[in-house]
Amino acid sequence: MLKIKNLKAGVEENQILKGLNLTVKAGEIHAIMGPNGSGKSTLSAVIAGNENYEVEEGSIEFEDEDLLDLSPEERAHKGVFLSFQYPVEIPGISVSNFIKTSINERRKALGIEKLSTPDLLKLMREKMELLSIKKGYLSRNMNEGFSGGEKKRNEIFQMAMLSPKLSILDETDSGLDIDALRIVANGVNKLKSKDNATIIITHYQRLLDYITPDYVHVLYNGRIIKSGSKELAHELESKGYDWITKEADKEWA
Amino acid sequence: MGLINEIKNYSDKKNLSADKRSALDNFLENGFPTIKDEEWRYTSLKKTISGKYSINAVGRDVTKKEVEKHSLGLKHKIILVDGFLISKPEIKNISISAYSEFISNTNEALEKLNYSLAKNGYTISVHANTTIEEPIEILFFNTVENNFIQYRNIITVGDNSQVKFIEKIQNIDCDNVFVNSFTHINCESNSKLEFNKIQNNTPNSSLIDTVDVFQKKDSVSNINTLIFGGKFIRNNLNFEQNGTNAESNMNGISVLNKNQLADNHTFVDHKSPNCRSNEMYKGVYLEKSKGVFNGKIMVREDSQKIDAFQSNNTLLLSEDATINSKPQLEIYADDVKCSHGCTIGQLDKEALFYMRSRGIGKEEAQAILTYAFASEAINNITINKVAMLAKKLLINKLDVDLDHNI
Ligand SMILES: Nc1ncnc2c1ncn2[C@@H]1O[C@H](COP(=O)(O)OP(=O)(O)OP(=O)(O)O)[C@@H](O)[C@H]1O
Ligand SMILES: [Mg+2]
């Protein structure tokens, strides 16, 4: 589904991703871990099409199509979804209006007719139940004054509403309380199918107790320096990153 | 050629009273202001006054259907056609009548012109101790193409009284109409006024709208100016606070495209202590449109404990759009809280990316953010129907597919 080859990207003079390779197939869940500042959010931003980052080299293919050629909205229409590490507040537009616009813009691009308001409300109710979201929140302005955890939950709610093919969850677990973590994980598991894939960026093993990844990668200094099974996450939790990053530092020295 | 000659011809033919004659002579001495006048530096009347005009011409009647089409559907409607009062509501403790002559002591050229040529307008007097719950709609219809017309209005809100107005100027079957309007408002002690101006006339219309508000002690006046349509708009909004604890509030929204120009000149004269003023103007400029804002606040020497706030925030959404924004604070008292801020910006990039990553196209995303920017000022409007209309006009103008009812 997703093929990233030798990706080098950064801002202005500063190269952040330094030759990154990653392949994700439909039906898989990948976890990406790594120290602060290693480039995890940059990777997700580049996949989603943030124009702040410049791609110098390499390629990203999504379902055998060159993703780098597409605008952020076109990527979204193809089924790429990024749950932001820091969701943005959008004043003046309610959650329900935002989601409605987002769904219908995608439908328009795909040549499907607009979702009717009753159908939309039905779908919203369904997904709100799945994620234990209270009703009043639909009429609040998008992320405005939301607590950290509420913002993250709102990201997953949008994911559920949009049913993307590839979801990238950038530290969606940070800021969630234990119950919310379980609810969100449960939501992600329920939405999982053989046709979609998920990349989970996280610092903690905890989330992986609920969502079992097929692969765990360590991203360090702009590259994936180690990949393994879910046991790798346990190992990282007890040993930290030192033992692999030192090796990588030596190799590049 | 041009309007100034038409005015001369007109005045030669008419019998004007001595006062009016002298006001007109006074106007004709310098003619219309030009960009050499400091107050008109960025706002050129040249094109507007070069056209061919009739003066104060009267056209046809307006049908009930047409009224309905342009009205907000409020119960109380005052209707004027080509400046003449043709219909008014019966409201207890309010007297409403047609134009009546009154002198104002301003020195503005356009006021002099207005005074000398005016035959049209309304006179409203809200008696003391009266609260009018339902807002009153004032509809000005113009029906004559290439017409230059004066409105001269006066409103008095009596002691302890409260009232809300919505004023709208609408061309019907005509487009190139130039309105020079002057409204004198007296807010008596402890009165409360809300006045909403909806400026959404046809694409080639021109408007100069001057409102002078005189406030006595403990009075509150809120004036909202919503600018969407028209080619040339100049608003002069002046407050004079002549009593303690008076409050003057202004909200403005301009959403312009094409070659539209809107100029908001505001002036608050804090002549008494312990008063407040609060001003928030927002502008969104698309295509080749042009905005001008000049906010003058004067705090006189003995006017202590004044609290004055002013902001003018602008979104420039095209390379060709321009804004000239100027705060002008003249403070002669020392115990004063006065703040002003002015921002000129583009849209928040992070927010744009966030929305686009959710599948919302770039233009749509821009429109939504613009909507959010402007709606902050709309939220200060207390009449629901006006706020709804403003939202609708905003959405239409931005060409965005949002349901304003949500
Ligand atoms: N827009 C930017 N401008 C300048 N530097 C940037 C920008 N975005 C990222 N960086 C830098 O690139 C590096 C990688 O940042 P990134 O946010 O991708 O890290 P991360 O792995 O997500 O970290 P964390 O675990 O703290 O979220 C950091 O050193 C960061 O300062
Ligand atoms: Mg990050």
Please list the residues that pair with B277 across neighbouring strands. Answer: B248, B308
pTM, 2 dp:
0.80
Q: Which CATH class is domain A2-252?
A: alpha beta
Rounded Cα distance, A205 and A203, in Å: 7
Please list the residues that pair with B187 across neighbouring strands. Answer: B157, B215
As a whole number, mean pLDDT of residues A73-80 equals: 97
Question: Can you tell me which residue has the tokens 């006062």?
Answer: B19
Residue A238 C-alpha to ligand 2 middle, in angstroms?
21
B233, B209 Cβ separation under 8 angstroms: yes
B24, B67, B378, B17: which is closest to B225 by C-alpha? B378
Low-confidence ranges of chain B (pLDDT < 50): 404-406
Q: Which residues surround ligand 2, an ion (CB under 5 A)?
A: A 40-41, 85
B208, B110 Cβ separation under 8 angstroms: yes
Of B348, B362, B402, the CB nearest to A101: B402
Rounded Cα distance, A171 and B13, in Å: 81
The DSSP-derived string for B313-362 is EEEE-STT-EEEEEEEEEE--SSEEEEEEEEEE---HHHHHHHHTTT--H
The answer to whether the Cβ–Cβ distance between A91 and B406 falls below 8 Å is no
Cα separations (Å) of B93 from B89, B111, B129, B193, B213? 12, 30, 9, 16, 21
Minimal Cα distance from B404: which residue of A? A97
Q: Where are the domains of chain A?
A: 2-252
Rounded Cα distance, A54 and A185, in Å: 33
Atom 7 in ligand 1: residue holding the nearest Cα: A11
Cα separations (Å) of B334 from A207, B240, B242, B267, B331? 61, 20, 19, 20, 8
Residues 6+ apart with CB under 8 A from A129: none
Question: Using a CB-CB distance cutoff of 8 angstroms, which residues of chain B are in contact with residue A113?
Answer: none
A17, A5, A19: which is closest to A67 by C-alpha? A5
Give the number of the ligand closest to the Cα of residue A203: 1
Question: Can you tell me which residue has the tokens 């400046």?
Answer: B83
Rounded Cα distance, B12 and A39, in Å: 80
Rounded to whole angstroms, the maximal C-alpha distance in chain A is 61
Please list the residues that pair with B206 across neighbouring strands. Answer: B178, B232
Residue A38 C-alpha to ligand 2 middle, in angstroms?
8
Distance of CA B333 to the CA centre of its chain: 29
pLDDT value of residue B406: 40
How close B357 gets to chain A, by Cα (Å)?
A: 5
* Number of Cβ within a 10 Å radius of residue B338: 17
B63: tokens are 């049908």
Q: Does A136 touch chain B (CB under 8 A)?
A: no
B75, B94 Cβ separation under 8 angstroms: no
pLDDT value of residue B405: 44
| DSSP-based three-state secondary structure for B90 | coil
- In the sheet that A65-66 helps form, which strands lie side by side, from edge to edge? A14-24, A2-11, A54-62, A65-66
Rounded Cα distance, B123 and B55, in Å: 22
B72: tokens are 């907000």
Q: Report the DSSP pairing between strands B162-171 and B136-142.
A: parallel
Helices (H), strands (E): how many in chain B?
8, 20
Q: Does A100 touch chain B (CB under 8 A)?
A: yes
B268: tokens are 């608050």
> What share of chain A has pLDDT > 90, as a percent?
76
Question: Using a CB-CB distance cutoff of 8 angstroms, which residues of chain B are in contact with residue A75?
Answer: 357
Question: What rounded mean pLDDT belongs to chain A?
Answer: 93
Q: Does A164 touch chain B (CB under 8 A)?
A: no
Rounded Cα distance, B389 and B378, in Å: 10
Look at residue A62 and tell me whether its pLDDT is greater than 50: yes
The answer to whether the Cβ–Cβ distance between A102 and B360 falls below 8 Å is yes
B150, B114 Cβ separation under 8 angstroms: yes
Ligand 1: residues with CB < 6 A are A 11, 14, 16, 34, 36-42, 52, 85
How close A115 gets to chain B, by Cα (Å)?
A: 14
The answer to whether the Cβ–Cβ distance between A105 and B357 falls below 8 Å is no
Orientation of helix A148-162 relative to helix A95-110, angle to 10°: 30
Residues 6+ apart with CB under 8 A from B251: B222, B223, B224, B225, B279, B280, B281, B377, B380, B381
How close B280 gets to chain A, by Cα (Å)?
A: 17
B112, B105, B109, B148: which is closest to B31 by C-alpha? B109
Question: Using a CB-CB distance cutoff of 8 angstroms, which residues of chain B are in contact with residue A106?
Answer: 359
> What share of chain A has pLDDT > 70, as a percent?
100
Test mutation, A47, A53, A93, A169, chain B, max B CBs within 10 A: A93
Atom 4 in ligand 1: residue holding the nearest Cα: A11
pLDDT value of residue B300: 97
How would residue A137 be classed by pLDDT, with cut points 50, 70 and 90? confident
pLDDT value of residue B1: 63
CA atoms within 13 A on the CB side of B242: 13
Contacts 24+ apart (CB under 8 A), B68-72: B70/B139, B70/B141, B70/B168, B70/B170, B70/B172, B71/B137, B71/B139, B72/B137, B72/B166, B72/B168, B72/B385, B72/B386, B72/B389
The answer to whether the Cβ–Cβ distance between A106 and B401 falls below 8 Å is no
Rounded Cα distance, B118 and B368, in Å: 43
Distance of CA B174 to the CA centre of its chain: 21
Residue B40 C-alpha to ligand 1 middle, in angstroms?
50
Q: Does A191 touch chain B (CB under 8 A)?
A: no
Rounded Cα distance, A61 and A66, in Å: 5
Local structure of residue A94 (DSSP, 8 states) = B
How close A121 gets to chain B, by Cα (Å)?
A: 13
Question: Can you tell me which residue has the tokens 């012109």?
Answer: B113
Residue type, A211: I
Chain A, chain B: beta-carbon pairs less than 8 Å apart = 89
Residue B349 C-alpha to ligand 1 middle, in angstroms?
17
B164, B191 Cβ separation under 8 angstroms: no
Look at residue A253 and tell me whether its pLDDT is greater than 80: no
Q: Where are the beta strands (DSSP E) in B231-286?
A: 232-241, 247-256, 261-270, 276-285
B306, B268 Cβ separation under 8 angstroms: no
A183, A249, A187: which is closest to A222 by C-alpha? A249
